Structures are given as C-alpha cells and as structure tokens.
Amino acid sequence: MSTSALKDSVLSHLKYSLGKDPEHATTYDWRVALSLAARDRIVDPWFESTRATYRADAKRVYYLSMEFLIGRLLEDALVNTGVYDDAKAVFDDLGLNFGEILHDEPDAALGNGGLGRLAACFLESLSTLGIPAMGYGIRYEHGLFRQRFEGGRQVEEAEDWLTQEHVWEFERPEAAFEIGFGGQVYENGGRAVWRPQEAVIAQAFDTPVVGWKGEWANTLRLWGALPKTVLDLQRFNAGDYAAAAEPEALARTISRVLYPDDTTEEGKHLRLKQEYFFTAASLRDLIRRFEAEHDDLRDLPKRVAIQLNDTHPAIAGPELVRILHDERGMEFETAMEIARGCLNYTNHTLLPEALERWSDGLMGYLLPRHLQLIERIDTAHQTQHPGIAIREHGEVKMGELSFIMANRVNGVSALHSDLMKVTVFKDLHDMHPDRIVNQTNGVTPRRWLRTCNPRLSGLITDAIGDGWIKDAERLSELEPHVNDAGFLDRFVQAKRENKVDLGQWIAESMGISVDPDAMFDVQIKRIHEYKRQHLNILETIALWQEMRDNPNGDWTPRVKIFGGKAAPGYVFAKEIIYLINSVASVINNDPVTSKWLKVVYPANYNVTLAERLIPAANLSEQISTAGKEASGTGNMKFALNGALTIGTLDGANVEIREHVGADNFFLFGMTAEEVMERRTVEGHAWDAISKDPRLARAVDALRNGTFAGGDHDRFRGIADNISGPDYFLVASDFSDYWRASREVDQAFRDTGHWARMAALNTARSGWFSSDRTIRSYASEIWDALPSKPLRNIAAE
Ligand SMILES: *Cc1c(COP(=O)(O)O)cnc(C)c1O
C-alpha cells in the first residue's frame, strides 16, 4: 500500500463520494474522505472472512450486548490496516493538520462504561484472533448524554453523533425483521400462537470491525427500529398530521436513546421493549443464517455460541424456546436443550439493586407468551432442583433466568467469580457446581497501548520488536530492559512528553496550568458511591489542609485528575461531582498550595478522553470498596501504560497486583471479607472518624462551608453519609488510604525507582489483553476455533 495510492483514494472519495473540490473541502470533508478510503481497505478482508467462515462451516460466536462503547474508529482502522503512516504523510503533503482531522470524528458512545467498552474490546480481539463472530446491539440515535458543568454541577445534553453521516456503517434494508409486542396468546391445534398487538421493523446496520494487520474483519450489527407503516395516510388525508406520524414516532422511540443507567425505575416499559427488540431480531437473524446452510435446527449448538453480556438480552432464553417449540414444533424439552446448548451468560455485578427484575404485569403485557414460557422453564427446573424460583414476589428475576438457561455462566475476575458462588448465585451454584467459570476481563492492546500511546509503543517496539501487539504477553520481554538506564530514561521521557501534551490540553481547554513534573494522579470512571470518588476528594482535602498547616514542607507535587459521568437520576453521585468541582475551584486558586496541588476535572469523560489521559498518568486510582467492583478494565489500561496503581483488593486489582508484583502496587484497605464484617459494627463510620483527626477535619470542611462559599448545607448530605451509614466504608478505609498515598509520595520522589516500577507494570500487564480473555472464552465456553488468517495487508 503506497502513500500515493492512498492519496488518490482520499481525493477520489472527496470528489465522487462527497462532491467536494479540494479547495473548498472542510475538515469534516477530509475526515470523511479518509474514513471512506480506510473503509475500502477493510471491505475485502471483511468479505473474505465471511467466505472463509462459510467454507469452513465454522462455529460462529454471537455477542449480544445492549451496549458497545466503541469510541472513534478512524485511527484504530488506520493503525490496524497498517496505513497510519501513509495517511499522515498524505495529509502532511496536502498541508493539512492530520491530528485535527482525526479529532473531528465524533465519539460513538453507545454505552455507559466498562460493560460496553468490554464488548468493543472483545469485538476487536475476536477479529484479531480470526474467530468468526458478530456483535449484536442497538443503533441508538442518541448515545450516552454529553456532560457539561455549570457552576460545578453536571448538566446533561443529548448526544447527537448520528446527525453527521456515520461513515463506517452499511445500511442493510434487506436484513429486516418484524418484532411484535403485546397482544394475546391463542391455541391452535395444541400449539400456542402469539398474536402481537403492535409491531415494529428491526433493520440492520453493519459496521466492519477489523483486527490487527487487517487480516480478519467481523461485523458489529446494530438494529434500528422503523415503523411498519411510515404514515397513516387516512389520518393524513383527514388533516390530522400529528396522529398520522404517530406510528413512525412510536417505532423510532425504541432505538432513540441509550439508557444512562441500568438501575433507574423510569422508562421500564421502553427498556424492556428495547431488550426484546434487539434480542429477538438477533436470534431471527442468526437462525436465518444457520438455515441458509443447514437444515436441522437440532445442530444449532454445534454451529452457534451466543454470549449474553449481562442480563439485558436474557429474554433470548424464552424467545429461542418459543421459536423452536411454538413456531418450529419441537418438543419443549428438546427446545430447552438446544437453547441451553447455545446460550451463555456473563454476570457483571453483585450489587443487588443492579440485578434486573421485571414485574409479571409488565412482562405479561408486553410479552405474554414469554411469561408463560418462563413459568414453564421455572417449573421444569424446580422439578429437578427444588428450592429456587425464577419468579418471585410477582417478578421475573433475569439473573436466575439467565443462569438456568445458560450452558456456562461467567464472572469477570477471579474474585468476582468466587463471590458469585457464595452470594448472588449461591443456591444455583450448589445445584449446578460446574456451570460458573471465571473469565477475567481484558482490554485490547491495539487501542489501549499501540494507538493511544505512540511514544511508549514506539519505544517498546524498538526494544523488543512489534510481536507484542498481537501477543501482548511478549511484553514480558521488556523485563531485562528495566535494568537498563538508557531504556528507563526513554521510558520516563515518553511519559513526560505525554504529560506535557496533556498539560497543554488542560491549559487550553480548562485554563488551568499544571506542572508536567508533578505526579499525574488519575481517577476516571462512572461516578458511583462504590467506586468512591468521595474517598479520593476527601484525601485531597486533608492533604490540602496539611499543606496549608505546613507551607514550608517538602511536598510532592500532585495533579489530581478526575473524569466521569453520573447517571442523571443519581442524586448522590451528582453531589460528588459538585463537591469535586467546588474543591477544585478553592484549591486551584490557593496561592499557598498551588505549586503542589491541583484538581482537574475535564467534563464529558468518554473513550476519547480516556485515550488522552491514560498515557499521561503516573498513578491509577482503583479504590472501590472491596467486593463491589466486578473487575474493572480501566485499571488494566493504566497498568499497561506504565501507571502504578493505588488500590484495594477488589475485582481484577487482585490479579493485576499478582502479575505486576506486590512491590509495584500500592495496596490499602479492607478485604471483601473485612468489609462485610466491618458493616456489622455499629457506628463504624463515627468510630473511624473519631480515631483519625485528619479525617475528622476533612469531613468538617464539608460542613463548615469551606468549599461552598460559607454555605453549611451544600455538602451536608455527603458529610452525613460519610459519618453516618457510610455503606461503602469511606471513613473506615480513609486512614489506610492516607498512609498508602503518602507512600506513593515518597516513592515518586525516587524517580529512578519509580520508573523501574512503572516499566515493570507495562512489562507484566500483557496477560490483561482481551486476546487472552477471548481465547479463554473460545476454549472454555464457546468451543470455537480461530480461523486461519487470510492475508496480510501490511505486507502487500
Ligand atoms: C475503560 C473504560 C471504562 C471502564 O472503567 P472502569 O475504571 O473499569 O470503571 C469506562 N468508560 C470508558 C470511557 C472507558 O474507556
């Protein structure tokens, strides 16, 4: 692939696809032209992958997920197809700013956080490994809301990524299915027949996802909802224009918005519709594909593995049984067996409030036949295994339903999988001791190191070659280099340059100046009580108070960086945001401490911002209450990029610490077991506060108006929570967090030693590649084999 061929392709798209003269082309035009040129290079391997899959009659993996947090696609596509340098040369040659063109792309935020990002990393790894797979989800018109701060408070705005043409997708009008809701169940010749009352059309939109070196591309197929009839012409002709447009508006609502939270009560009805809509369309699609090549549906489990990403697609169980039993006339037991042979379920949370339940009333109203089948599944299971019910207190428990319908159930870190067995699924695990397996999460090293951190990845490739990009465990070959002063110098230099870049961006976008030699201490993730951003900000307050007490002290300079959105209805999380911003505005304007301490909270945390912040981080904050974070994947991205972790023994932190070594990890806090015990201690928070004067003073600052212009009430809610119920044990973990933070300060001053620890984090984090996770799903859950790589574009 030569630079001039790419240039011709870009110019040709500019002219013939966009109808633009180069002289009048905008950044948008150039970006779209480049994207189309890049897309052209993916289409052939994409077709080839599909043909190879058909030829081999290979088993396919279907990943059903309500969310795909894919972020931008252009840079990833250029890197994976090996034309990044050519593209840069083309734009340098044209005298255009390449970085600006890449940054013009909207961030596709079709997910809330870790769960959706995991799905996106998995798709990329499935393609890199050459496993035939398809991601199925919803083509939301509006992804996750855009966050702004107004006077320090979060304001949500509609995300409108689809107002511009989404250049990566191909619309598939021929891949469309009618999806029904409501209505009645009739009997006809001993068979149940469901007659839905309303129906919409699910139409496919395909985005190719290309793997490393462009050798294989799988498909992300997102369903958009369309009306069956676009316009009610009778009403239109009668002059009732609003009513005439109703069917269209109603249908489109289904794929209009991503739910910003999976724990709210609002919009239950629509949410269940969304879940059934994309699950039913996906099942019909995969059965149609199967039947194009095979004639016996009993062979489905040999050719199809379906992964349910959380319980959102759990209706797949009863729906598959309904298709096989009601529509295809199979015995109920056979239908059950086949469905179970295909389905697997990933659990993502132990928080009871986040486990989905639907009322019988709603389920019976929207999906009357499914409710009957769930009852039957429940009865069948209880006959063999008395003591556990899918339906309870007038509700359907989707976790139990998923478990019972699944061949394999997995947790997402070793600790999480172990806890599942003794908490949420204890009874089911006792009945089915072989069903739960662990699959520790991972992240793709292409996006999360190779692409987002070109300086570090260049240095790594110089040292050990580029084999690590598709086999991240080869990062261990860096180990001998960490004793080489020259290598460490370059390692430190790469990190420093990333920090300078970030510092410039912070100065330009936020007007805050930060010192690139200060420690960049980063906590970026959804704002949630269990993730404990309030523990971090409390420590910040205490540190600031000590600095003011001792202005001649020899303090280690820190920039505390926060990022994250709160669900719009999550009042406490929004108060935490308000507090962080309020603390920032006081501390950043304090002339006494400003050379040591800054607090920076850029708005609208998303994949793009993560890609900007992580390469520049020295310290990664992973401080959730032990037992609450299922895995975390942010923690892995940081370690891979040479940041040290300060963290609790929670989720995958446990395994990160095992891999990077306890000496290269700052551990603090109670274990999951100690957490459960501590909660039973009456007045645990008050007890902790009375024993730690630093903590007492920091909490007091929330009450005395220090960060609220004298208003004593503004942060009373947070203060009362921390000193009262404190379910997430902020107070009880504070003293140890403080101790560990001061150890971090000390360690950071020994720059040579810190660099060595940081480099060891990179060298030992290869195991956290999502390639390793996917290989493990393939062998332990899906029984799916990688297909042979077809060709190598980069070598052509
Ligand atoms: C990786 C990632 C997450 C998950 O972060 P955690 O720290 O594991 O919660 C959330 N949002 C975005 C944008 C990410 O890239």
Q: pLDDT grade, residue 1 (50/70/90)?
A: low
DSSP secondary structure letter of residue 789:
P
pLDDT of 232 > 90? The answer is no
Residue pair 336/378 in contact (Cβ under 8 Å)? The answer is no
Q: Quick one: pLDDT at residue 230?
A: 67
Q: How many CA atoms lie within 13 A of 60 on its CB side?
A: 26
pLDDT above 70: percentage of residues in the chain: 97
Ligand 1, atom 1, residue with closest C-alpha? 634
Terminal Cα-to-Cα distance of the chain (whole angstroms): 6
Q: Quick one: pLDDT at residue 413?
A: 98
Q: pLDDT grade, residue 498 (50/70/90)?
A: very high
pLDDT digits (tens, 9 = 90+) for 514-552: 999 999 999 999 999 999 999 999 999 999 999 999 999
pLDDT of 263 > 70? The answer is no
pLDDT above 90: percentage of residues in the chain: 90
67 three-class SS:
coil
Ligand 1, atom 4, residue with closest C-alpha? 114
Asked whether the domain spanning 445-768 has the same topology as the one spanning 60-70+117-441, the reply is: yes
pLDDT of 218 > 70? The answer is yes
How far apart are the CA of 202 and the centre of ligand 1, in A? 30
Write down the catalytic residue from 637, 659, 678, 694. Answer: 637
Ligand 1, atom 10, residue with closest C-alpha? 113
Active site residue 26: no
Q: Quick one: pLDDT at residue 788?
A: 55
pLDDT of 506 > 90? The answer is yes
pLDDT digits (tens, 9 = 90+) for 139-155: 999 999 999 999 999 99
Q: Quick one: pLDDT at residue 795?
A: 39
User: How many angstroms separate the CA atoms of 308 and 278, rounded?
Assistant: 12
Q: pLDDT grade, residue 787 (50/70/90)?
A: confident
Type of residue numbered 44: D
User: How many angstroms separate the CA atoms of 325 and 336, rounded?
Assistant: 9
Ligand 1, atom 6, residue with closest C-alpha? 634
How do the domains of the chain map onto residue ranges?
Answer: 1-56+72-106, 60-70+117-441, 445-768
How far apart are the CA of 249 and the centre of ligand 1, in A? 33
Active site residue 531: yes
Q: Quick one: pLDDT at residue 793?
A: 42
Q: Quick one: pLDDT at residue 792?
A: 45
Ligand 1, atom 9, residue with closest C-alpha? 525
What integer best gives the mean pLDDT of the chain?
95
Active site residue 526: yes
- Atom nearest to 605 CA in ligand 1: 13
User: How many angstroms separate the CA atoms of 645 and 627, rounded?
Assistant: 18
- Atom nearest to 631 CA in ligand 1: 8
Residue pair 385/431 in contact (Cβ under 8 Å)? The answer is yes
Ligand 1, atom 11, residue with closest C-alpha? 113
Q: What is the mean pLDDT of residues 105-133?
A: 96
Q: What is the mean pLDDT of residues 447-453?
A: 98
pLDDT digits (tens, 9 = 90+) for 586-623: 999 999 999 999 999 999 999 999 999 999 999 999 99
CATH of 445-768, one of 3.40.50.2000, 3.30.390.50, 3.30.930.10, 3.40.50.300: 3.40.50.2000
Ligand 1, atom 8, residue with closest C-alpha? 632
User: How many angstroms separate the CA atoms of 316 and 399, rounded?
Assistant: 13
Q: Pocket of ligand 1, candidates 527, 612, 622, 633: which has the most ligand atoms within 8 Å of its Cβ, to mutate? A: 633
> Domain 60-70+117-441 is in which class?
alpha beta
Beta strands in 385-530 (DSSP E): 391-392, 395-397, 408-411, 436-438, 519-524
Lowest mean pLDDT of 36-40, 163-167, 686-690, name the range: 163-167
Helix segments in 130-267, DSSP class H:
233-237, 241-244, 246-254
Ligand 1, atom 5, residue with closest C-alpha? 634
pLDDT digits (tens, 9 = 90+) for 452-464: 999 999 999 999 9
How far apart are the CA of 105 and the centre of ligand 1, in A? 20
pLDDT of 669 > 60? The answer is yes
Active site residue 525: yes
Q: Quick one: pLDDT at residue 231?
A: 67
How far apart are the CA of 607 and the centre of ligand 1, in A? 8
Active site residue 103: no
Q: pLDDT grade, residue 478 (50/70/90)?
A: very high
Write down the catalytic residue from 20, 213, 470, 525. Answer: 525
Type of residue numbered 29: D
Write down the catalytic residue from 20, 284, 397, 526. Answer: 526
How far apart are the CA of 631 and the centre of ligand 1, in A? 11
pLDDT digits (tens, 9 = 90+) for 690-716: 999 999 999 999 999 999 999 999 999
Residue pair 738/694 in contact (Cβ under 8 Å)? The answer is yes
pLDDT of 791 > 70? The answer is no
How far apart are the CA of 250 and the centre of ligand 1, in A? 33
How far apart are the CA of 152 and the centre of ligand 1, in A? 22
Q: What is the mean pLDDT of residues 769-792?
A: 85
pLDDT of 66 > 60? The answer is yes
List, chain by chain if needed, residues with CB within 6 Å of any ligand 1 atom.
Answer: 69, 113-114, 117, 525, 606-607, 610, 632-634, 637
How far apart are the CA of 633 and the centre of ligand 1, in A? 6
Active site residue 391: no
User: How many angstroms separate the CA atoms of 129 and 78, rounded?
Assistant: 18
